[in-house]
Amino acid sequence: MSVRKLKPVTPGQRFRVVNGFDAITTDKPEKSLLAPLKKSGGRNSQGKMTMRYLGGGHKKKYRVVDFKRMKTNVEATVESIQYDPNRTAFIALITYKDGEKSYIIAQNGLQVGQTVVSGSGVAPEIGNAMPLSEVPLGTIISCIELRPGQGAVMARSAGAFAQLMAREGKYATVKLPSGETRLVLANCLATIGAVSNSDHQLVVSGKAGRKRWLGRRPRTRPVVMNPVDHPMGGGEGRASGGHPRSRNGIPAKGFRTRTKSKASNKYIIERRKK
């Protein structure tokens, strides 16, 4: 994977850094795995704006990605690595031995023609999904379940990975991308390897218009609003609005909002770094 810095032939291209897409092998998605994706523009059923700064964007279709990997102990061949407009990671089109096709999140280093398999008793190789109880300690993993059979919910975005630290009883200790260390049931599935497209963090948009293509409208800074619109609004001239806080007054940047009596607190060994 690589990135390309464009020549400054226009003001918008001057700082533009684009993904090299050298891992992508085809630009045509599998039609049987596409689903319609409607936009709301941030409006509810009455047409009222309930989410600010959303709207527009390029039309796209959803790629049905298999996060559960429930087809166990059936080998599948990687047909292609594809771009997915709905996520930062690349996806891989796989074909099982019985002919069924599926999309999975592509791991870093996954190659066309490679064989992947999920289930119990499989080898801990890139792209294989297996229970945490069988993953060797210290292994880099991604696409981790939080509850058995739920499907992958953790470490799914571009370049993300977690590490299996220890196992004790029915729980495994996993260090997550946020820096949090928590207990996860050992019979939850995880995929071996880090998620693809790790260079995504180096991409620079270069111009505001590209945010519009992605469906983001211009965002107004709270400090330039009026007092009626935001707690940080008002003041004379360029007066900054005191302590940073949300629109409904909850402090940001360091204020912990997690419920102290939350049931899952007992599974968190070490909180994420500030």
pLDDT number for residue 113:
96
Mean of pLDDT values over 169-187: 97
70-105 pLDDT, tens digit per residue, is 999 999 999 999 999 999 999 999 999 999 999 999
Q: Which domain holds residue 129?
A: 3-201
Report if residue 246 sits inside a domain.
no
Which residues does 38 contact at the CB level (< 8 Å), separation at least 6? none
The tally of domains found in the chain comes to 1
Judge whether 113 lies within some domain.
Answer: yes
Contact 156, 102 (CB under 8 A): no
Does 214 map to a domain? no
pLDDT of residue 89: 97
Asked if the structure places residue 223 within a domain, the reply is no
Q: How confident is the model at residue 274 (pLDDT cuts 50, 70, 90)?
A: low
CA distances from 273 to 152, 173, 176, 177 (A): 23, 17, 11, 11
The Cα-based distances of 20 to 121, 145, 193, 202, 265 in angstroms read 37, 31, 21, 11, 41
Looking at residue 83, which CATH number applies to its domain? 2.40.50.140
Strand runs labelled E in the chain: 3-5, 17-19, 34-35, 62-63, 76-82, 91-96, 101-105, 115-116, 129-131, 140-142, 162-168, 171-175, 181-185, 189-192, 268-270
> At 209, which helix (H) or strand (E)?
helix 209-213
Domain membership of residue 107 (yes or no) is yes
Q: What is the pLDDT of residues 119-172, one digit of tens each?
A: 999 999 999 999 999 999 999 999 999 999 999 999 999 999 999 999 999 999
Whether residue 256 is contained in a domain is answered as: no
**Using the 8-state DSSP alphabet, how is residue 265 labeled?**
G
Burial label for 135, CB within 10 Å (0-12, 13-18, 19+), is buried
- In whole angstroms, give the CA distance from residue 18 to residue 100: 34
Longest dimension (CA), the chain: 70
Amino acid at residue number 273:
K
Rounded to 10 degrees, the C-alpha dihedral 150/126/1/207 comes to 10
Residue 211 is classified by DSSP as H
Q: For residues 107 and 90, what is the distance between their CA atoms, to the nearest angstrom?
A: 8
Give per-residue pLDDT as tens, 194-210. Answer: 999 999 999 999 999 99
pLDDT of amino acid 1 = 65
Share of the chain above pLDDT 90, in %: 94
Instruction: Give yes or no for a contact between 195 and 107, defined as CB atoms under 8 angstroms apart.
Output: yes
Write out the two tokens for 15: 């700082």
CA distance 94 to 103: 6
The pLDDT of residue 237: 86
